[in-house]
Amino acid sequence: MLNQTPNLDQMFQALADPTRRAMIDRLSRGPASVSELAKPFDMSLPAVVQHLQALEASGLVSSQKVGRVRTCQIEPAALSLAEQWLNERRTLWMQRLDRLGEYLEATAGEEEPK
Amino acid sequence: MLNQTPNLDQMFQALADPTRRAMIDRLSRGPASVSELAKPFDMSLPAVVQHLQALEASGLVSSQKVGRVRTCQIEPAALSLAEQWLNERRTLWMQRLDRLGEYLEATAGEEEPK
DNA sequence: TTGTTACTTAATTTTATGCTTAACCAAACT
DNA sequence: AGTTTGGTTAAGCATAAAATTAAGTAACAA
């Protein structure tokens, strides 16, 4: 089943937890079942599942259940959305810096010529 | 003063709040004082300052005080770090998909020739 | 059909967040 | 000197988040 409207609040919230980032990291190497995802963590299964729910609610991960195993995978479009948000703000700032630099260069030596 | 070791937990945590994202958005258009940043929000000044502290602790924003006004600006390198983390996982996943696609294409028609 | 595997649900506890008000401090006006 | 402006500190409170244990369900395997 496809998921939620991707929402930046939930996405960044999901990414703020090291366990959840480790899960995304694992999933970036390919799909995995809930118990495969749980294996590396010293944590109860329900806790892992709650993290997974946070990831799914955010849209970053999707899953489907076949028989009794739930298989999870990354939702690259959602990752991309968060990425873009950051990129837009950063480049806006950097463009401003560039213009400021050009201005300073252009007006250099007007008040105090070398 | 330059800030914290940028830490993904704190960065994504900082980005998870809409007020804080709005502040970054504002700062992407240029530096601002604390009260300028506070103006758009229906919220006490101390609350705004707490958000600002979260942003500074994460490394996403830095500030310096001159006289009695504190001026804040974006720290583009930190934004870039979060961006990269997302990008690396997403491209890893997508490369995997590509290889899978090629494989399927290469083996197409071996079992059921059109 | 009995047991095991792979989750799922529910209840509870602990800790962290986001916000408020009140009081305070120091720079800049008048 | 007295007042306003810009920000800081501290205490308290309500809600949300992260984890636990205990109990339950459905698929598959022997």
The verdict on residue B104 lying in a domain is no
Using one digit for the tens of pLDDT, what is the confidence trace for A51-73? 999 999 999 999 999 999 999 99
The verdict on residue B109 lying in a domain is no
Which nucleotides in chain D lie closer than 7 A to a protein CB? 5-11, 17-22, 26-28
Decide: B13 and B53 in contact? Cβ < 8 Å: no
Q: Which residues of chain B have pLDDT under 70?
A: 1-6, 102-103, 108-114
The verdict on residue B97 lying in a domain is no
Listed in sequence order, the residues at least 6 apart from A109 whose beta carbon sits closer than 8 Å to its beta carbon are: none
- CATH of residue A12's domain is 1.10.10.10
pLDDT (tens, 9 = 90+) of chain A, 114 residues, equals: 444 556 999 999 999 999 999 999 999 999 999 999 999 999 999 999 999 999 999 999 999 999 999 999 999 999 999 999 999 999 999 998 777 666 666 766 554 432
- Please tell me the total number of residues recorded for chain B in this structure: 114
Decide: A83 and B86 in contact? Cβ < 8 Å: yes
The verdict on residue B15 lying in a domain is yes
- Three-class SS state of B63: strand
The verdict on residue A16 lying in a domain is yes
The verdict on residue A113 lying in a domain is no
Q: Verify if strand D has an atom below 7 Å from the CB of A18.
A: no
Task: Please return the burial class of B95, using the count of CB atoms within 10 Å of its CB with bins 0-12, 13-18 and 19+.
Answer: exposed
Task: Please name the residue of chain A whose CA is at the shortest distance from the CA of residue B9.
Answer: A16
Residue with tokens 């590509």: B98
Distance CA B81, CA B6 (A): 8
Whether residue B12 and residue A9 make contact (CB cut-off 8 A), yes or no, is no
Decide: A61 and A72 in contact? Cβ < 8 Å: yes
Q: Domain limits at B71?
A: 8-86
One-letter identity of residue B58:
S
> In A, which residues are within 8 Å of B16 by CB distance?
9-10, 12-13, 15-16
One-letter identity of residue A85:
W
- Cα distances from B64 to residues A87, B73, B97, in angstroms, run 25, 9, 46
Task: Please name the residue of chain B whose CA is at the shortest distance from the CA of residue A31.
Answer: B93
The verdict on residue A76 lying in a domain is yes
Largest CA distance in chain A: 79
Give the number of domains in chain B: 1
